[in-house]
Chains A and B, each alone.
Chain A
Amino acid sequence: MRIDDHPILGKAERGRSITLTVDGSPVEAFEGEPIAVALMASGHRVFRYTTKQKGPRGVFCALGRCTDCIMIVDGQANVRTCVTPARDGMVIEKQFGRGPREEKG
């Protein structure tokens, strides 16, 4: 659901076309845009599941403050995807609790 044309802002200017791997599947993105934006554009809404209630979470503040959109990026947990620029080949995984799915947490 990208906004390619806009009545005020005109045509969108985007970075180079790149590919991310999200939970094992390729996702098209534009270099430099926040990871969360590429995910939303490709229809992803659930970014992680919480520790206690295992509840789904997604983008909430989009400013890097609330930390709801954290995911595992290139093996590192708790990365705020709404303020982390996408780079070609990044490997992104949903976070379960404080880490990857296997970990009991």
Chain B
Amino acid sequence: MKKARAREGIRTTGIPSKEELEASPGYPKSDCLARGPIVVIECVQDIPCNPCEGACPSGAIKVGNPITNLPVFDVEKCDGCGTCIPICPGQAIFRVDMTYQTDEATVSFPYEFLPLPKKGDVVQGIDRAGGAVCEAEVLRVQQPKGFDHTAVITVIVPKNMAMEVRSIKRAKR
């Protein structure tokens, strides 16, 4: 059983497993999600990297020494601003707002493909394995100069898909 699980992780599939995510100190516990918009850090490997720590204006992310530590996320301090999303070189930081509507949540993610979608577009929400899992309405596309060409896209998805959707289907160029 243990072996079968090891075969499912990020090192074999490129997709962090549920166990890997839940074991990561950057991944919020499910009861924290009801508070409002918070970031979800899906960083599960000891890569020497820490720009997320310096990016957070509220000090909610701590990597410390050595820089291979996994980021530790303090949900009490996070105000869901999402400044850390475009900074992460691994594109492993997302934002989820479970309080958006009764049945709908929003998911924000980094996106570096053309063409960019526009507010109001209805696109397909894509999960970590690249599969289309639901319809997603584009709420915001942010790409200020400071993001250095990484766009942060926010989409509206059914609540039960908020922890599954991590991107959108790329449109044909």
Contact = CB atoms under 8 A, between A and B. Distances in A.
Interface of A: 5-8, 10
Interface in B79-129: 112-114, 116
| Secondary structure dominating the interface of A | loop
10 contacts: A5-B114, A6-B114, A7-B112, A7-B113, A7-B114, A7-B116, A7-B149, A8-B112, A8-B149, A10-B149
Contacts of A10: 149
Contacts of B116: 7
B124 to A, nearest CB: 19
Interface in B52-92: none
Contacts of B113: 7
Nearest to A8: B149
B162 to A, nearest CB: 26
Nearest to B143: A7
Contacts of B114: 5-7
A38 B114 CA distance: 24
A24 B73 CA distance: 65
A10 B113 CA distance: 11
A8 B149 CA distance: 5
Contacts of B149: 7-8, 10
A5 to B, nearest CB: 6
Contacts of A6: 114
A50 B72 CA distance: 58
Candidate in B113, B114, B116 with the most chain A CB atoms within 10 angstroms = B114
Nearest to B112: A7
A4 B113 CA distance: 14
B116 to A, nearest CB: 8
Contacts of A7: 112-114, 116, 149
Interface in B138-154: 149
Chain B CB within 10 A, most for which of A5, A6, A8, A10? A8
A74 to B, nearest CB: 36
A8 B91 CA distance: 15
